[in-house]
Amino acid sequence: MKKEVLSLAIVAAAFTFVSCSGNAESNVEGTDSTATEQVAEGETAATNPFPWDFPQDVKLDAEPGQMALAPYTFYPGAVKDGKDLTTATLIFYNSQLQEVGDKTSKMGGDQIPNALIIPLDKDAKAKKGDILLTWWQSGSGLERAIVKDASNPAEPIVDYLDLDYSDDPAKPGMAQKHGDKQLKPGSFNVLTDGEWQPGAQIACKKDNRWMVATLIRVEGDKVLAYCQGARVEAYNKADVKLVPFKENIKAGDVVWGRFATTYQPDYKVTKVDNELGRVWVEHNDRTEVKSICEVTKVLE
């Protein structure tokens, strides 16, 4: 079962056609975009361990033993294999922090850049209707979820927003198959609309298109984004917009909706279920059910 879930997570992350490309032409202090050199046959070329145009001196407000999300299973191997990290698959999984350092911290036995680590609040409490950053606790991988029952605020019952939802009772989606999940203590952060916090939904401007992404971190005027295809990209903050989780969207509205890796205009809203965190839309003569992460009016 574990192998099946891991395969599902990898397939889901790699399903989309392209990633959000960022603005990584210039590198931060301590990196070198020409780090890959010619090597002897049979050897692996060196790779730039932090190629993104984003600060590396990120301090984590965390301690050893605290849960966190990071690409700790993919990042070390990609570096070792000499892969270009701007195009590599870097799926964010959950694990405990083993050590916390100034620029890197230890997870899974390896040092990971702090900029790629999202600590989870060990004392987090939720209430009904909250949007949370967590992981798929009957599987794996970074997920956002909506709280359905907060009778125990430290262990709320949620539905996952980043899993597909089906409107066909005979063919339930992954969100329904894995719904009503009770989260473990210290396994989530509560997200707030309008705040540039890890897990926020964002739209990143590239080549006059709005790319779908999740915020990893913001420092000054730079944004690190978790894009479709499980790729990490850097953007200028001026080219990024926050997508609200609790926007005032109602039936009859025309909104931007997610299509593959981008937000596209002209989706007509036919129904909204705020408790489920789902929006029914019509587009090109088709009816689709999207999560609140996938529709917005802020891009108009």
Q: Distance (Å, rounded) from C-alpha 79 to C-alpha 15?
A: 23
Does position 20 have pLDDT exceeding 90, yes or no?
A: no
Does position 44 have pLDDT exceeding 80, yes or no?
A: no
pLDDT of 138 reads 84
Specify the pTM: 0.85
Q: What string of DSSP letters covers 217-264? A: EEETTEEEEEETTTEEEEEEGGGEEE--SS----TT-EEEEEETTEEE
Query: pLDDT over 70 for what percent of the chain?
Result: 85
Does position 8 have pLDDT exceeding 60, yes or no?
A: no
Does position 233 have pLDDT exceeding 70, yes or no?
A: yes
Does position 216 have pLDDT exceeding 90, yes or no?
A: yes
Does position 37 have pLDDT exceeding 80, yes or no?
A: no
Segment 28-37 shows an average pLDDT of: 34
pLDDT of 45 reads 52
Strands (E), the chain: 67-70, 93-100, 104-107, 110-113, 118-119, 131-135, 142-149, 157-160, 181-182, 189-191, 201-206, 209-219, 222-227, 231-236, 240-242, 254-259, 262-273, 278-283, 286-291, 295-296
- Give how far the C-alpha of residue 39 lies from the chain's centroid of Cα atoms, to the nearest Å: 35
Tens digits of residue pLDDT in 149-192: 999 999 999 999 999 999 888 999 999 999 999 999 999 999 99
Tens digits of residue pLDDT in 51-90: 999 999 999 999 999 999 999 999 999 999 999 999 999 9
Does position 19 have pLDDT exceeding 70, yes or no?
A: no
- Give how far the C-alpha of residue 113 lies from the chain's centroid of Cα atoms, to the nearest Å: 17
Does position 110 have pLDDT exceeding 80, yes or no?
A: yes
Tens digits of residue pLDDT in 251-272: 999 999 999 999 999 999 999 9
Q: Out of 31-35, 125-129, 198-202, pick the least confident.
A: 31-35
pLDDT of 263 reads 98
Does position 219 have pLDDT exceeding 90, yes or no?
A: yes
* Average pLDDT over all residues of the chain: 87
pLDDT of 140 reads 83
